[in-house]
Amino acid sequence: MDMRRRLGAEAIGTFWLVLGGCGTAVLAAGPNSIVGGGGVGVIGVALAFGLTVLTGVYALGHISGGHFNPAVTVGLAVAGRFERKDVVPYIVAQVVGAILAACILGAIATGIDGFKFSNGFAANGFGDHSPGHYSLLAVVVSETVMTAMFVLVILGATAKKAQPAASGLAIGLALTLIHLISIPVSNTSVNPARSTSQAIFAGTDYLAQLPVFWIVPLIGGALGALVWTTVLADPAEEG
């Protein structure tokens, strides 16, 4: 497949993920939500992230594989499902797509009086910047395990003996569940590109914590891949 098309699909898919997931968190889940009260809440945000991945995988997965996430790209490379030489270009495309989505979201969000990027802009954090004020250790454990399980589900759902028509549904529902569990802990990253785009706009305090949301999900993705290849994978199938 043409690399230009593949990178375009990764950028657009990550754009969609950030616009849909973070957009719901910023526009429809907070005190300024047009739906009133507390907005759509944690369940609505979790579903939004799951739906963006589900629809993105079905629309773009046949072009690029539908990673939309540096941790997934690294995990697939560790598992031998993705060419390692293509890891960096994929990650660059994902970050570019995420930042473009944050720019669009910022332009929309500032259309209401009183909006402040410093209120968080759906960025990830720990301590005072965690929705539930969870510690750094709690966030590290959560992000590691959630990312590992996400990559493991992706590897299982896309294995040769799996049902290909259902893979996007399994992946989207897995991301929904991950958000239901971990939004209170870290605002759920499991995706360094998504963390980067929001931290850039949220400001210095969030940018200072951003390295955690690169290092930990990448480690989690690699761990999930290692669990798959050493415990669950069929050697004949993977080979």
Burial-class residue 73 by CB neighbours within 10 Å (0-12, 13-18, 19+): buried
Domains by residue range for the chain, with CATH: 3-238 (1.20.1080.10)
- Cα distances from 226 to residues 5, 103, 119, 159, 218, in angstroms, run 29, 36, 38, 15, 12
Kindly give the confidence (pLDDT) of every residue in the chain, 239 residues in length, as a single tens digit, with 9 standing for 90 and above: 799 999 999 999 999 999 999 999 999 986 555 455 568 999 999 999 999 999 999 999 999 999 999 999 999 999 999 999 999 999 999 999 999 999 999 999 999 888 999 999 999 999 999 999 999 999 999 999 999 999 999 999 999 888 888 999 999 999 999 999 999 999 999 999 999 999 999 999 999 999 999 999 999 999 999 999 999 988 766 65
147's tokens: 């990312």
235's tokens: 């050697």
Return the DSSP state at 231.
I
213's tokens: 């949301």
Residue 210 pLDDT:
98
Return the DSSP state at 176.
H
Q: What is the DSSP string of 2-26?
A: -HHHHHHHHHHHHHHHIIIIIHIII
